[in-house]
Structure formats: C-alpha cells, structure tokens
Chain A
C-alpha cells in the first residue's frame, strides 16, 4: 500500500530535550515536505526537499532541522524544543511533477512542556 508513515504519532516532551520525528514514504517520491498545523493558521511549510541531499527552508524553519540522506526518509529534528513548537506536524511527499498532489502522513501531535 502506498503510504507516508510518521513516528511517533504522539509525543510529550520538555523544553530543550532534543527529539526527532521520522517520516518515510514507499512511493519513490523525490519531493518531501514538513508542515505544522496550528488552529486558524492552516498548514505552514517548515522545510522541503526536492531530492536526496537537497533541502530548503519553507515559511517557518526556525528551530527545526531536516536531512535527506535517503530518498524514502525525511526526518524532522528539533534540537532544543520550546513550547511554541507545540503543534500538529505532517510529513508529505509527491513526485517531481509540480502538478502532482502531495500524499500526507497521519500526523504527529507534539507537546513541549
């Protein structure tokens, strides 16, 4: 089954404790992206990657890091999480054609205390 998976689905952590949210897709997509969803703000893009070893900032990259060492994986790293990073996070992927829709993972709900 074609899918995007994220882990963990739920995470409660404390300020400053480094964490990684994993994202993996099995569709051989070149393009992958991370979003955060906050009430009233919709989805805002954090980082995206157009292929292996190619990443770029989205609209809200501060406080986040990403890497793309393999085509299928695109982890999101919070080196020192803060409470304002409490949010619902989605990973998405698509093929290189700009007219292709993105496939979304199930989401990771992160709470930073």
Chain B
C-alpha cells in the first residue's frame, strides 16, 4: 500500500532564509511524486512533480524538490522564503505502474514565514 509521511506538522522560517518541507513515501512500484500548496480558504494548487529523470525538480513560485530514491524522500525547498509562502503544503504519491491506484496525500505541513 502507498503511504506518505510529512514528519513536521509546522515549519517556521524567517523571511529570506532557505526553507525545507520534508516528505517521505512508500510505494510498491516506481513513484510519481507531487507537491501541492493550500492557501487559506482555497483549494489545492499544484507546485511541482517528479516523474523521471533529473532528481532536482523545479516548480512554481521558485520552489524546487529533490527526489532521493535510496531515502524514499521528496523534500520541498526554496532558497529564500517569502512571507507570502506561508500556507499548508501537501506531498502526494502515486504508483507509476498502477493507474487504478489512488493519489495518496500526506497529512500536510504548515509553513509560517516570519517577517
């Protein structure tokens, strides 16, 4: 069965500092990995995904994520945080070879960027 863990409920970072939001996953086949962001009173917005190829994936709003197969991780990063990055972040996984499988989401990590 697929699963996603986001070990931190809350991440606090000062504006201008680098940020990391952690995600680890478990899937029987090869993973497709996704990051979404949710702003207050809004739906989820897609940030980036890993399908294959380069382990460093770049996405929207200056975010990037690094896929590490040996550690089964897909951490979200940004070199310089903005106050406007404060939101709820979700990591999700899907089995690449089983389309019938669901997307499985992590519990979410709340990011607070302090001015």
Residues of A within 8 A of B (CB): 4, 33, 35, 40-45, 48, 50, 56, 58-59, 90, 92, 96, 98-99, 101-107
How many interface residues does B have (CB within 8 Å)? 27
User: Are A41 and B107 CB-contacts (below 8 A) given A98-B99, A101-B46, A104-B44?
Assistant: yes
Which residues of A have CB within 8 Å of B32? 98-99
Please give, as numbers and ranges, the residues of chain A lying within 8 Å of B44 by CB-CB distance: 43, 90, 92, 102, 104
Whether the pair A33, B100 counts as a contact (CB closer than 8 A) is no
Contact: A102 with B43, CB < 8 Å? Answer: no
CB-CB < 8 A to B102: which residues of A? 33, 45, 48, 58-59
Q: How far is the CA of A41 from the CA of B41 in the complex (A)?
A: 17
> Are the C-beta atoms of B49 and A99 separated by less than 8 Å?
yes
Chain B contacts for A98, CB-based, 8 A: 32, 94-96, 98-99
B96 touches A102 (CB 8 A): no
A-B pairs with beta carbons under 8 A, tally: 58
Residues on A with C-beta less than 8 A from B45 are: 104
Instruction: Take A42-B107, A56-B100 as given contacts and tell me if A101 and B49 are in contact as well, using a CB distance cutoff of 8 Å.
Output: yes
Shortest beta-carbon distance from A91 to chain B in Å: 9
Partner of A50, one of B100, B106, B108: B100
CB distance from B10 to the nearest CB of A (A): 12
- Chain B residue with the shortest CB-CB distance to A90: B43
Residues of B within 8 A of A105 (CB): 43
CB B37 to nearest CB in A, in angstroms, measures 11
CB distance from A74 to the nearest CB of B (A): 15
Q: A41-B107, A58-B102, A98-B96 are in contact. Are A107 and B90 (CB under 8 A)?
A: no
Q: List 12 A-B contacts (CB under 8 A).
A: A35-B105, A42-B108, A43-B44, A45-B102, A45-B103, A90-B43, A92-B44, A98-B96, A98-B98, A99-B96, A101-B46, A104-B43
| Chain B window 49-68, contacts with chain A (Cβ cutoff 8 Å), 1 for yes, 0 for no | 10100000000000000000
Most chain B beta-carbon neighbours within 10 Å: one of A43, A45, A50: A43
